[in-house]
Chains A and B, each alone.
Chain A
Amino acid sequence: MNKKILIVEDDINISKIIKMNLNIVNYDTTEVYNGRDAYELLQRERFDLILLDVMIPGIDGFELMKKIEPLRIPVIFLTAKNSVIDKVHGLKLGAEDYIVKPFESLELLARIETVLRRFGREETIMAFKDVQVLLDKREVKLHGKPVELTVKEFELLVVLLKNKNIALSREQLLDKVWGISYFGETRTVDMHIKSLRKKLNLYDHIKTVYKIGYRMED
């Protein structure tokens, strides 16, 4: 079942772009544009995570935080305020994370994932077409049969699946899989992609995107 995320953001365009980004990696989203609506909705519905703008009409973000504390839903603040004091204030109130506008969608997704994992709400099994990934056992199955992957191939596959339908540059992939300190060439990424396509028969799904990198597509 997909995770449900509530987006509380008064700027419609920003709310929409967040929603689009989340939907594409298979999160279910609901948008509300002010604090009061958010509060009412939270009384009725259960969400796995809230993305909350601080400066919203009605009840502001910090205030809403206090009110919904008993629900124990992880909150990530979205705001243009980037002063340290605001950050401390937000985190003191129990926000899990803080993200400053303008932000990159990849950063947002990564933070959402981190928070969800911390709250044990992340899946342990990812399925894509004929491929099954058992995250806790670090096992990959194709048509139910285990496939041998190297450590880096496994991690690369997980990153691509988590950012499904989003193109990732070779640099981003290097960074996420090999780490920032790795000074390898982007060719390393190409080799591993090639190997993944072959081992898991993903020729049609791991797409090469012109001038950007690779994208896992349905």
Chain B
Amino acid sequence: MKLWQKIYLFSILPFIIIFTLASVLIIERNHSKLLQQEIDTTLRENMSIRSTMEAIVPFLKIYRSPDYEQTVWTTIGNEFVAKNSDHTMYLNIIEEPNRVAYSNIDFAIPQKWEELQSPAKDEILSILSDVGERTILFTSSLVDLNDRKYSIRYMKDVTAVYEERVEQYQFFMKVDIIACLLYLILMIFISKGLTRPIERMVRTAKVIAQGDISKRVDVNTKDEIGNLAENFNRMVQVVEDKINELELNNLEKQRFIHDFTHELKTPLTSIIGYANFLRVTKYQEDVFVDGLNVIHDEAKRLESLSLKMMDLILIREDHFELSMENLKAVLDEAEPVLTMKAKERQIQIAIDANDCWMEMDKDLMKMLIYNLVDNAIKASAEQDTITIKVYGEEQRCVLVVADQGIGIAPEHLDKIFEPFYVSDKARSRRYNGVGLGLSICQSVARMHHGTFEVASEENVGTTIKVIFETGKRNEVKQ
């Protein structure tokens, strides 16, 4: 069963039950009240006859004539009947044991009334009973007059009260049906309206389940459903972002593998080609030396590639620990190696460092410095100077490596961080470059909340600035 149908049904059933019960209760109460009123009136009238009869007793004592008595009783009875002629009533006065003093009864008295015929003194009994199609209220009292006992029976036709009840029930039935119909129609709209946002969510969820992750639920209510829809949308958004991220990651990885394969195959082609050539052709000294040189160089290139790959893998494995270090001290530690490397090509290294503390992995930071300086050395000519600066700004540590080398052409600038990208193939080969240096640097920098700023002009030099946000150091890394 659908939710709206459940809401519908579960609200309709109690409504009908409660409405009906309440109506029945009201009708019955009304009825019993009316009946009670009738009974009270009847009893009162019975009493009033009795008091009238009691009031006349002294006259009866004076005359002491049965005929006169009879005339008095008849007069009282007729007067009384005439006074109450607005409704059907019967009066029956009996002188005990069974002489009828007055009677206007036009029906046979039912048997069970007999028990009411001799009430105790000063007591009024009453009973309700159906006579034919009518309902009669019967009251009876006993009065002691002039040493004689009189039984006053006053009866009233209360059929109207019962008819009133039936009429009320009929009226109620009509009201009930109309109210229920109205309620039924209203509830369809209400329950459907309440569940519409849910249905919309279900439809959207189905579409999403079929793969269209960009879909969103359009529910603007402020209640729990709106809340659910909002959270649902947020969840889908997170999933979508994750999927996109994974896709991007995957694409990047695929490209990396693709490029890596290319980088592997090129030296391998040379090595295999030359080795085979030397193997199957007649020995010629110059070709032999040339060939072996190529094989050696290309194998060296492969070695360098594998070393850089190891670095990259190391970084990506996330086995690093951050500790508070002085960037200046790290640079000082790295300096001897850098100077030695630069000296091989007669390049000067000038260091201008100030203290700057930040959280870092020392080994990785050194790797970053080596790679940046290595690039600078490769770009520089003999007698050039490479300047390395370290200084602190508010909440930042800045590392600058500047060379006076060949520079980077503007069209290459945005690609230099791509793995395996080299702007000058021939030059890069000469130094066994594989195009991974800056990728490594970027990975390291990212771990330390660092960003790059590259300024370069061809044949003037390149300045690479790495800016580390130390203010972020307390956040979760990566």
A residues adjacent to B (C-beta < 8 A): 10-14, 16-18, 20-21, 24, 55, 57, 80-81, 101-105, 165-168, 209, 212, 215, 217
Q: Is the CB of B280 within 8 A of A55?
A: no
Sample (7) of A-B pairs whose CB atoms are under 8 Å apart = A14-B266, A16-B294, A17-B277, A80-B266, A101-B265, A165-B281, A166-B280
Q: Write the chain B residue with the least CB distance to A21.
A: B277
**Residue B276, interface by CB 8 Å:** yes
Q: Is the CB of A217 within 8 A of B298?
A: no
- C-alpha gap A102/B267 in the complex (Å): 9
Q: Is the CB of B262 within 8 A of A17?
A: no
How many A-B Cβ pairs are below 8 Å?
A: 72
Contact of B276 among A80, A104, A217 (CB under 8 A): A104
- C-alpha gap A102/B269 in the complex (Å): 4
**Residue B279, interface by CB 8 Å:** yes
Q: Is the CB of A165 within 8 A of B282?
A: yes
B residues adjacent to A (C-beta < 8 A): 258, 261-262, 265-266, 268-274, 276-277, 279-282, 287, 290, 294, 297-298, 425-426
Contact of A167 among B271, B273, B280, B425 (CB under 8 A): B280
Q: Is the CB of B425 within 8 A of A10?
A: yes
Q: Is the CB of B262 within 8 A of A102?
A: no
Q: Is the CB of B272 within 8 A of A102?
A: yes
Minimum CB–CB distance from B293 to chain A (whole Å) comes to 9
Q: Is the CB of A55 within 8 A of B262?
A: yes
In the complex, which residues of chain B have a beta carbon less than 8 angstroms from the beta carbon of A17?
269-270, 273-274, 277, 294
Q: Is the CB of A14 within 8 A of B270?
A: yes
The answer to whether residues A24 and B269 also contact, given A13-B294, A57-B425 and a CB cut-off of 8 A, is no
Minimum CB–CB distance from B408 to chain A (whole Å) comes to 16
- C-alpha gap A16/B295 in the complex (Å): 12
Contact of B273 among A10, A21, A209 (CB under 8 A): A21
Q: Is the CB of A80 within 8 A of B281?
A: no
Q: Is the CB of B269 within 8 A of A103?
A: yes
Minimum CB–CB distance from A100 to chain B (whole Å) comes to 8
Q: Write the chain A residue with the least CB distance to B271.
A: A102
In the complex, which residues of chain A have a beta carbon less than 8 angstroms from the beta carbon of B279?
167, 212
Contact of B287 among A20, A80, A212 (CB under 8 A): A20
The answer to whether residues A215 and B261 also contact, given A17-B277, A103-B269 and a CB cut-off of 8 A, is no
Minimum CB–CB distance from B278 to chain A (whole Å) comes to 10
Interface SS majority for chain B: helix
Q: Write the chain A residue with the least CB distance to B268.
A: A102
In the complex, which residues of chain B have a beta carbon less than 8 angstroms from the beta carbon of A12?
426
Q: Is the CB of B425 within 8 A of A80?
A: no
Minimum CB–CB distance from B437 to chain A (whole Å) comes to 20
Q: Write the chain B residue with the least CB distance to A10.
A: B425
Known contacts A17-B270, A55-B262, A104-B276, then 4 further A-B pairs from the complex at CB < 8 Å, ordered by chain A residue: A11-B269, A11-B425, A20-B287, A104-B272
In the complex, which residues of chain B have a beta carbon less than 8 angstroms from the beta carbon of A20?
277, 287
In the complex, which residues of chain B have a beta carbon less than 8 angstroms from the beta carbon of A103?
269, 273
- C-alpha gap A24/B262 in the complex (Å): 28
Q: Is the CB of B276 within 8 A of A11?
A: no
Q: Write the chain B residue with the least CB distance to A104.
A: B276
In the complex, which residues of chain A have a beta carbon less than 8 angstroms from the beta carbon of B277?
17, 20-21, 105
- C-alpha gap A166/B297 in the complex (Å): 25
Minimum CB–CB distance from A24 to chain B (whole Å) comes to 6
In the complex, which residues of chain A have a beta carbon less than 8 angstroms from the beta carbon of B271?
102
- C-alpha gap A80/B262 in the complex (Å): 6
- C-alpha gap A4/B140 in the complex (Å): 146
- C-alpha gap A84/B282 in the complex (Å): 38
- C-alpha gap A164/B92 in the complex (Å): 155
The answer to whether residues A102 and B280 also contact, given A11-B266, A55-B262, A80-B265 and a CB cut-off of 8 A, is no
In the complex, which residues of chain B have a beta carbon less than 8 angstroms from the beta carbon of A80?
261-262, 265-266, 269
In the complex, which residues of chain B have a beta carbon less than 8 angstroms from the beta carbon of A217?
282
Minimum CB–CB distance from A99 to chain B (whole Å) comes to 10
- C-alpha gap A103/B265 in the complex (Å): 10
- C-alpha gap A104/B269 in the complex (Å): 8
In the complex, which residues of chain B have a beta carbon less than 8 angstroms from the beta carbon of A102?
265, 268-269, 271-273
In the complex, which residues of chain A have a beta carbon less than 8 angstroms from the beta carbon of B425?
10-11, 57
In the complex, which residues of chain B have a beta carbon less than 8 angstroms from the beta carbon of A212?
279-280
In the complex, which residues of chain A have a beta carbon less than 8 angstroms from the beta carbon of B298?
13
Q: Is the CB of A81 within 8 A of B262?
A: yes
In the complex, which residues of chain B have a beta carbon less than 8 angstroms from the beta carbon of A18?
273
The answer to whether residues A167 and B262 also contact, given A10-B425, A11-B270, A14-B273 and a CB cut-off of 8 A, is no
In the complex, which residues of chain B have a beta carbon less than 8 angstroms from the beta carbon of A55?
262
Minimum CB–CB distance from B96 to chain A (whole Å) comes to 127
Minimum CB–CB distance from B57 to chain A (whole Å) comes to 132
- C-alpha gap A139/B221 in the complex (Å): 94
- C-alpha gap A209/B279 in the complex (Å): 10
In the complex, which residues of chain B have a beta carbon less than 8 angstroms from the beta carbon of A14?
266, 269-270, 273
